[in-house]
Chains A and B, each alone.
Chain A
């Protein structure tokens, strides 16, 4: 739940090429059903969303530390899209 200025410093530190978003008010964490109400932060979770806005993959808690599942889900989507174009 870093603020935008904290994210700016972190982005500079690690050199990100994607947006680091700040859900400072926890509204999106709540809407996505991952807000830990007891501690007031989002449980670590990765969602993969396709071009139609449909969730195709979810990693929760410790499994979300490893990006392999999300990476594979993205690769699968790219493969299916390439197949459609053939």
Chain B
């Protein structure tokens, strides 16, 4: 299901490039977040 402006962003937990687990909920109430999805590093699409 596609998300729209005004929707609650689903929480997630993913490993970052250092191996640390990052959760969206860790930023709630503290910082806004930019989530940029891309396919592979250095790809144009």
A residues in contact (CB < 8 Å) with B: 1-2, 4, 6-8, 10-11, 16, 19-23, 27-29, 31-34, 41-58, 64-65, 67, 70, 74, 77
Partner of B36, one of A29, A46, A52: A46
A-B contact count (CB 8 A): 125
Contact check, A51 vs B28: say whether CB atoms are below 8 A apart: yes
The 3 tightest CB contacts between A and B, nearest first, are: A19-B16, A7-B17, A33-B2
Which A residues are in CB contact (< 8 Å) with B5? 55-58
* Apart from the given pairs A23-B37, A47-B3, A51-B27, 19 other A-B contacts in the complex at a CB distance below 8 Å: A1-B40, A4-B15, A10-B17, A22-B14, A27-B12, A32-B37, A42-B38, A44-B38, A45-B36, A47-B35, A48-B33, A49-B32, A50-B32, A52-B28, A55-B3, A55-B7, A55-B8, A56-B5, A64-B36
User: B residues 1-45 with Cβ under 8 Å of A?
Assistant: 1-12, 14-20, 22, 24-25, 27-42, 44-45
CB-based nearest A residue for B10:
A31
Distance in Å: Cβ of A44 to nearest Cβ of chain B: 5
User: Given that A55-B4, A55-B7, A56-B5 are known contacts, is A28 also in contact with B14, CB under 8 Å in the complex?
Assistant: yes
